[in-house]
Amino acid sequence: MSVCSNRADGIDRSNSPITCQHGNCSSRISISKLTFSLQGSGVAYLNRSIGSDTIRWIQRWPGKSDSNENKVPTVVVYNKATSELTSWGFKSEAEAERTASDRSYREWFKTLLDPSHFQLTQQHQPGKCPASIAEVETWYRDYLRALYNHVERKLANDIAGTSWQRASIEFVFSVPTTWKPNPTVENFKRIARSAGFGQHPGHEIVMGLTEAEAAAFLTPLEEQSISRENNIILVCDVGGGTPKIPLLEV
């Protein structure tokens, strides 16, 4: 889910844990920002298992291993005949995946998990809407599973003193401000868990700030000159298609 803003580093530091909740700080990692946005998704993490307080990004992705990228396209591609996932992320940008007649290219589906937005899209843009939310859930699950598998491959060897399965790991997400706790947020958590997040005993899915709250929280931390007591700050986070305009009183 998209967490905070398009600012310089885009990291929601408010969700980074300060204390160890599971009593095993030596093997603790916080995936302090999982960004699932309309256009591109990213992962920032804090590895306390090696005594680090530095927030880092995963920057190498399948299909783009020759450059550093903070975001990977939020895209899944399917074989039309078998409904099997053929690619995700940067690999979906290949010409064969984008244009082949036997492929279904799925993007810009983040907001469709919200039942109210899904119904509006069905009414006003039926050609851009799938037959059911169940189909949207499949796109979410397949993308999140691919993302989870890549995160595990990239970070498993960086954990000190234990394995990925036995480590204490928080996966911190935030959600669009308009999403209702039930059913949309709970539905997302269910999908994320089925994709692999939080599946091991020491792993936990944490729903952090809403996107608007995260944008409002981060701005005065980065812009110290405007962070005076009693100031009222208007934050405009345009984003890739889900703009947030929160007001914050310092």
Instruction: Name the helix (H) or strand (E) containing 141.
Output: helix 133-155
Domain covering 13-213 assigned CATH 3.20.20.150 in the classification = no
Q: Residue 60: what pLDDT?
A: 95
Label residue 242 by pLDDT band (50, 70, 90). low
**Range among 9-23, 32-46, 138-152, 203-217 with highest mean pLDDT value:** 138-152
Say which DSSP state 178 is in. T
CB 106, CB 78: distance < 8 Å? yes
For residues 77-104, average pLDDT: 96
More confident residue, 35 or 190: 190
State pTM to two decimals. Answer: 0.82
Task: Work out the mean pLDDT of the chain and round it to a whole number.
Answer: 82
In the chain, how many H helices and how many E strands? Answer: 5, 11
Residues of the chain with CATH 3.30.420.40: 13-213
Measured distance CA(125)–CA(37) in Å, rounded? 20
Per DSSP, 96 falls in state H
Query: What does the pLDDT average to over 195-215?
Result: 87
Position 50 scores a pLDDT of: 86
**Contact (Cβ atoms closer than 8 angstroms) between residue 24 and residue 84:** no
